[in-house]
């Protein structure tokens, strides 16, 4: 942990105001620490409820960031689709990158398969 001296300001109600840079540094250190949020908050001298709110806001913003990226920013990957000799004549087999095979026997399975493949990419 960083042990440098830091002057913290208080608001009119006497609450300590933590600068955004310090908050980001604490959250990064918490992620590396492996400690529980309650234990970490006690070690750095922040009320647990305040720290828990910071963690929640940080995780929400981190999970929302990739979803906000436009689809055009992601590379498009294509794969050749060929009929499998061993599969029934109406089945479509999709060979996935890890070696898994996705077999579609009914046209109603196509939307579900598309969502699965999109989630894996």
pLDDT tens column, 44-75: 888 899 999 999 999 888 877 665 555 556 66
Q: Backbone phi, then psi, for 56, in 5-degree steps?
A: -60, -45
Which distant-in-sequence residues (6+ apart) come within 8 Å of 47 by Cβ?
41
Contact call for residues 119 and 102 (beta carbons, < 8 A) = no
Q: What is the CATH number of domain 9-68?
A: 1.10.10
- The pair of structure tokens assigned to 21 is 């840079």
DSSP 104: E
Residue ranges, CATH 1.10.10, the chain: 9-68
Output the pLDDT for position 16: 74
Output the pLDDT for position 69: 53
């Amino acid at each position: 942990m960083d042990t440098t001296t830091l002057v913290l300001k208080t608001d009119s109600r006497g609450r300590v105001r933590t600068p955004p840079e310090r908050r980001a540094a604490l959250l990064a250190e918490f992620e590396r620490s492996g400690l529980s949020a309650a234990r970490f908050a006690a070690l750095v001298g922040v009320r647990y409820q305040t720290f828990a709110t910071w963690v929640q806001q940080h995780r929400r913003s981190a999970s929302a960031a990739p979803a906000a990226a436009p689809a055009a920013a992601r590379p498009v990957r294509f794969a050749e689709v060929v009929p499998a000799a061993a599969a029934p004549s109406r089945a479509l087999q999709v060979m996935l990158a890890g070696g898994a095979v996705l077999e579609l026997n009914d046209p109603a399975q196509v939307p579900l398969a598309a969502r699965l493949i999109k989630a894996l990419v």
